[in-house]
């Protein structure tokens, strides 16, 4: 298996590190020469360059590890390089627009959307780690345009990364659920830090530190993600705000019974979410 990775940021470079001793060849593209220099020096890729001409045309799998909008642009700008023997996948945190647009743009080439559920606070190639995906969830969003063979190949790739679970869902289901499980926790962390009280760093316990951990996000990537998934993000924010307003009401009116009962019910739901 020969793998080409486009974009050597945190995710792309971590995939390269994880695959390089398990597949025949890992080559990489990045438009930042300094990133390419680091990638070669740290032997993250065998070789690479800034454009599609720098990599061999017989790459089996092309992995697009760019921001969502950049993925669509890259596909469009490089149409002449794609061929029918390749499988192209992306690893972006949103799926519907990317999958729909690219499957329409490239009817002769197979494209499959994926989302490895892993990340860390250090962005870019300097945050790359071979074990980033160990034990994580890996989502694939095949459509009727994908073959069983390609789906099997992507699952094989995910297992090489060391993921724990592989889940299949539609691109729309993915974007709806991700608004709840990822965009909302990140917005909560941001909102909590933004409500900062002077002197409070003296009195933090683990609950606070965990709650603010993911406030350290790349502002450009996440602004793009929040806006691109606006419809579902706004719906989830409304639900969360309604829950907080309900808690506020129960607390303000000293409603011991309903508050106790609500917390008890929430613990039952949480049992189901546990992994």
Number of Cβ atoms within 10 Å of the Cβ of 151: 16
- Beta carbon nearer to a copy of itself, 101 or 176: 176
Question: Minimal distance in Å, beta carbon 134 to a copy of itself?
Answer: 12
Strands 2-6 vs 61-64: parallel, antiparallel or unpaired: parallel
Judged by CB, which is closer to a copy of itself: 24, or 265?
265
Q: How far is the CB of 149 from a copy of itself (least distance, A)?
A: 24
Sequence-separated (6 or more) residues with CB below 8 Å from residue 15: 5, 63, 65, 91, 116, 133, 161
Residue whose CB is less far from a copy of itself, 3 or 15 = 15
Least Å distance, CB 132 to a copy of itself, is: 11
Do residues 48 and 29 make contact, with C-beta atoms less than 8 angstroms apart?
A: yes
Choice between 107 and 209, CB closer to a copy of itself? 209
**Is the Cβ of residue 148 or residue 207 nearer to a copy of itself in the bound state?**
207
For CA atoms 23, 25, 29, 35, the dihedral sign is: positive
The C-alpha atoms of residue 128 and residue 110 are separated, in whole angstroms, by: 28
What separation in angstroms does the CA of 191 have from each of 56, 128, 186, 187, 194? Answer: 46, 28, 9, 6, 5
Query: Nearest approach, Cβ of 64 to a copy of itself (angstroms)?
Result: 20
CB of 133 to a copy of itself, least distance (A): 11
Nearer to a copy of itself, 27 or 250 (CB): 250
Q: How far is the CB of 227 from a copy of itself (least distance, A)?
A: 6
C-alpha to C-alpha distances, 201 to 121, 132, 197, 205, nearest whole angstrom: 20, 30, 9, 9
């Amino acid at each position: 298996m020969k793998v080409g990775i486009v974009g050597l940021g945190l995710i792309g470079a971590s995939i390269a590190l994880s695959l390089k001793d398990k597949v025949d060849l890992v080559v990489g593209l990045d438009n930042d020469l300094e990133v390419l220099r680091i990638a070669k020096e740290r032997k993250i890729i065998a070789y690479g360059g800034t454009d599609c001409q720098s990599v061999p045309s017989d790459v089996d799998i092309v992995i697009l590890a760019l921001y969502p909008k950049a993925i669509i642009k890259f596909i469009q700008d490089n149409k002449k390089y794609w061929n029918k023997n390749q499988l192209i996948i992306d690893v972006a945190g949103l799926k519907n627009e990317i999958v729909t647009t690219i499957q329409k743009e490239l009817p002769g080439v197979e494209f499959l959307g994926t989302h490895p559920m892993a990340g860390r606070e250090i962005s870019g190639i300097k945050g790359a780690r071979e074990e980033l995906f160990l034990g994580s969830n890996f989502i694939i969003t095949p459509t009727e345009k994908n073959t069983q063979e390609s789906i099997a190949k992507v699952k094989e790739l995910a297992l090489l990364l060391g993921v724990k679970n592989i889940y299949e869902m539609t691109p729309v289901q993915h974007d709806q659920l991700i608004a709840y499980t990822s965009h909302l926790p990140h917005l909560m962390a941001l909102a909590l830090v933004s409500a900062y009280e002077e002197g409070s760093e003296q009195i933090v316990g683990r609950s606070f530190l965990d709650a603010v951990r993911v406030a350290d996000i790349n502002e450009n990537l996440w602004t793009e993600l929040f806006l691109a998934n606006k419809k579902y993000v706004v719906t989830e924010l409304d639900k969360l705000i309604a829950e907080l307003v309900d808690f506020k009401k129960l607390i303000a009116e000293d409603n011991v019974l309903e508050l106790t009962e609500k917390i008890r019910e929430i613990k039952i739901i949480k049992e189901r979410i546990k992994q």
